[in-house]
């Protein structure tokens, strides 16, 4: 087995943690049934020779028969504590968990290995693989992004700890991908407020999206939707609050024009601005009459 695992491909298929469990358990069950029916594997499991079990475990791992390697590596790591063999078994056990798709346990074991054996030549690789496991646990953009945020933190911590790592470019590429997913989540959440006519919340959410992701490719549309949200909120307001809120809309419009003078949403924004001017004039006229 090589000291360092191969650098993972960047086009990794993401797993939904919620959907992973039943699939994983089913695969484990099927694999264990197949292995238990194999007399050769039963002999390996019953053997008292840890060296033999370890070598067979590495053979399973090399052959991508990771479900067969896991029980053997667990036993070797447990029964050979305090020896060099236990250190090796602990590292390969983490690899086996990742291989079978159990990214939670793989992350735990990789992080534990790097923390417990910081001077081992594989500590850097283990810390990187822990971050990769977090990346694989990041769900699609429509779901809660706590795991995505955790993955970004893992990669940043790794790059801070190993500034000269050969994995730096890969880390940065994956961090950019994760951040974009969080941008999409922020943008879509704000649009949901707008779509469900919760315009006050929409303004706050859109403004937070621009604050958190100032370079987002959605900033043009977001700024326009802030204008529209202010306008829709003003229209739904009581007569006593309309004047103030139409003025808020005009301020948002002026910000939009200053930032995006060539925006594709300019005509829509200008139409809203004109409606606000008319509404304010009517409100002020009615106040004068009263």
Residue 35 has pLDDT above 70, yes or no: no
Give the tens place of pLDDT for each residue, 99-147: 999 999 999 999 999 999 999 999 999 999 999 999 999 999 999 999 9
- DSSP assigned state of 4: S
Give the tens place of pLDDT for each residue, 246-258: 999 999 999 999 9
Cα(154)–Cα(128) distance, rounded to whole angstroms? 8
Give the tens place of pLDDT for each residue, 208-222: 999 999 999 999 999
Cα(31)–Cα(9) distance, rounded to whole angstroms? 26
Render 127-141 in DSSP notation, one character per residue.
HHHHHHHHHHH---T
Residue 41 has pLDDT above 70, yes or no: yes
Cα(20)–Cα(30) distance, rounded to whole angstroms? 15
Structure tokens at 214: 């100032």
Confidence band for 48, pLDDT divided at 50, 70 and 90? confident
Give the tens place of pLDDT for each residue, 61-87: 999 999 999 999 999 999 998 898 999
| Helix (H) or strand (E) segment spanning residue 72 | helix 66-79
| Domains of the chain, first to last | 17-184 (1.25.40.10), 197-284 (1.25.40.10)
């Amino acid at each position: 087995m090589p000291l360092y695992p191969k650098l993972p491909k960047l086009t990794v298929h993401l797993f939904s943690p919620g959907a992973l469990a039943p699939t994983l358990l089913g695969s484990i069950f099927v694999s264990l049934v197949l292995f238990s029916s194999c007399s050769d594997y039963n002999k390996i499991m019953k053997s008292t020779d840890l060296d033999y079990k370890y070598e067979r475990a590495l053979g399973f791992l090399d052959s991508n028969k990771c479900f067969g390697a896991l029980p053997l590596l667990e036993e070797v790591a447990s029964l050979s504590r305090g020896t060099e063999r236990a250190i090796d078994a602990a590292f390969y056990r983490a690899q086996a968990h990742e291989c079978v798709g159990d990214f939670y346990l793989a992350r735990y074991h990789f992080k534990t290995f790097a923390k417990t054996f910081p001077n081992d030549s594989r500590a850097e690789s283990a810390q990187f693989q822990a971050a990769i496991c977090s990346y694989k646990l990041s769900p699609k953009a429509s779901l809660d992004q706590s795991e995505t945020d955790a993955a970004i933190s893992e990669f940043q911590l790794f790059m801070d700890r190993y500034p000269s790592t050969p994995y730096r470019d890969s880390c940065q590429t994956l961090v950019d991908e994760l951040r974009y997913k969080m941008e999409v989540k922020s943008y879509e959440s704000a649009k949901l407020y707008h779509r469900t006519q919760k315009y006050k919340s929409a303004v706050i959410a859109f403004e937070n999206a621009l604050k958190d992701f100032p370079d987002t490719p959605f900033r043009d549309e977001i700024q326009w939707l802030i204008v529209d949200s202010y306008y829709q909120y003003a229209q739904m307001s009581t007569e006593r609050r309309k004047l103030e809120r139409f003025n808020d809309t005009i301020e948002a419009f002026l910000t939009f024009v200053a930032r995006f003078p060539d925006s594709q949403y300019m005509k829509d924004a200008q139409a809203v601005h004109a409606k606000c001017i008319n509404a304010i004039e009517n409100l002020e006229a009615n106040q004068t009459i009263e």
